[in-house]
Amino acid sequence: MPTTIKRNSAGAESNDLGAGAVYRNEPEFAAAVAGFNTAASMQPDVVVPVWSTGDIRRVVEYAAGIGAPVTVQATGHGYTYPVSSGILIDTSGMRGVDIDVQAGTATVQAGARWSDVHAAAGRHGLAGLVGSSSDIGVVGFCLGGGFPILGRTYGFASDRILAAELVTGDGVLHHVDSREPELLWALQGGKANVGIVASLTIELVHLHRVFGGGIFFPGESAAAVVHEFARWAPTLPVEAGTSIALLRLPADPSIPEPLRGQFVVHLRFAFTGPAEDGDELVAPMRAVSPAIFDQVGDMPYADIDAVHSDPRDAMPYTEGGVLLGAFPEEAATALIEAAGPDSDATLPLVEVRLMGGAYGVGTGAVNGRGSEFFASVVALIGGTQLPEARDEIDRIIGALRPWATGSAVNLNGPAATRSESAALWSPDTVRRLSELRRVHDPAGIIRAGHTV
């Protein structure tokens, strides 16, 4: 039985967790565990806010001493499985970003979000490889591979990890860089398997603008738009990234009238080249159907969240994802049948992203190098609807199964068991990650997400 950690009569300080630690059943506990996914079942014994590398090391050392499981949360965008014991390290207060303009790098603290990187790097004409939302934590995103909007141009975000301060499960602080190649490899897509990252140094790219945005098409054009996407997307140059999303939007007053409560198709597009070339590239999609809104144009890189327009308020959801070797017209038909406007589907988002290009190049632990597309599915859930939501996700992913090549740890959703987690990487990657865990975390205390 794992030890249950409680506040003792001498006060929290005496167990090394610090005065800020919040224990289960204390009034502040619900706020202390809250993250972006309000359906997450987060019931650690104690939440420990950390402010420095030293804090993280002290907490992991303490946990290793008593054999308590350790998990970590920065924003809660990546909740993967219920937490029912042990210590939750809360890094949300560690949002420092240090830019080295000469080197073109950012060193971010464990809780920094992509918005923090935009703010610090943008003024130097530098950019980080953000995904669909800059509210996401840089560390969690990058350790999971990180599908950036411009991944075809620049590769997985994990390929840009240069160095890290890493506390392994034995409580040792490692300064990881190319001189510790195996740990560096593991951080480049192996998620939290090798420990808790206190800071990460990533390479930035020189970029201050993109041509991009979203086009909302009416539901009745869904089949035509998705079929054209299947023909058009593979013809794009690597300087362009795109995805197509089937959206069931809520009847929420904050959503503009023509979209509110509607089924719509959302084309997402971003291109690093000149606006005239971008206009030419998007023309075949614009020709398919009149749009409800066409918001594609030149924009500062700092506004790149407008490409996806992801929700920003916390919500209850679960998700699933699948890597695809191709998305031919047969797959478009299968997707429309499973999730289109005339299907029984109820979930708010099904997205198919184009991969290829620079995604295929690199050496880290990330899965999905050879894949050409990634499909992700999000279902909203109330307290008792989880099984139904998972069934619906499985049904839609099942429709794309003929083209499946595996899965990816980011955007994959929960993995209930270690073997489900292990299926997110190749057998050889699992072997290498397991060996690193055996050496650096012999008691197996780090259980922060998908653990092999």
Ligand X SMILES: Cc1cc2nc3c(=O)[nH]c(=O)nc-3n(C[C@H](O)[C@H](O)[C@H](O)COP(=O)(O)OP(=O)(O)OC[C@H]3O[C@@H](n4cnc5c(N)ncnc54)[C@H](O)[C@@H]3O)c2cc1C
Closest CA to 340 of 235, 229, 419: 229
Is 219 or 413 the residue whose CB approaches ligand X more closely?
Answer: 413
87 membership: H or E segment, kind and range: strand 87-90
Is 69 or 76 the residue whose CB approaches ligand X more closely?
Answer: 76
Is 164 or 222 the residue whose CB approaches ligand X more closely?
Answer: 164
Angle at CA 269, nearest 5°, toward 268 and 272? 155
CB of 117 to ligand X, least distance (A): 13
299 membership: H or E segment, kind and range: strand 297-300
CB of 80 to ligand X, least distance (A): 6
Treating both helix axes as pointing N-terminal to C-terminal, what angle do 329-339 and 386-399 enclose, rounded to 10 degrees? 160
Which segments of 170-234 are extended strands (E)?
Answer: 173-176, 196-203, 205-206, 209-218
Which amino acid is it at 309?
A: S
Is 7 or 268 the residue whose CB approaches ligand X more closely?
Answer: 268
CB of 312 to ligand X, least distance (A): 8
Is 101 or 416 the residue whose CB approaches ligand X more closely?
Answer: 416
CA-to-CA distance for 320 and 411, rounded, in angstroms? 6
CB of 101 to ligand X, least distance (A): 25
Would you tell me how many other CB atoms lie within 10 Å of the CB of residue 328? 15
Treating both helix axes as pointing N-terminal to C-terminal, what angle do 329-339 and 222-232 enclose, rounded to 10 degrees? 150
CB of 38 to ligand X, least distance (A): 12
Only one residue has tokens 């990634």, namely 374
- 187-201 burial, b at 16+ Cβ within 10 Å, e below that, comes to bbbbbbbbbbbbbbb
Is 137 or 340 the residue whose CB approaches ligand X more closely?
Answer: 137
List of residues contacting ligand X (CB under 6 A): 35-36, 72-80, 91, 110, 131-133, 136-137, 139-141, 143-144, 146-147, 191-192, 196-197, 310, 410-411, 448-449
Is 72 or 184 the residue whose CB approaches ligand X more closely?
Answer: 72
Closest CA to 139 of 98, 96, 90, 191: 191
CA-to-CA distance for 169 and 1, rounded, in angstroms? 19
Is 79 or 334 the residue whose CB approaches ligand X more closely?
Answer: 79
Only one residue has tokens 């967790």, namely 17
Which pair of structure tokens corresponds to residue 264?
Answer: 């719509």
Is 201 or 410 the residue whose CB approaches ligand X more closely?
Answer: 410
3-state secondary structure of 352: strand
Which segments of 219-262 are extended strands (E)?
Answer: 240-248
CB of 233 to ligand X, least distance (A): 16
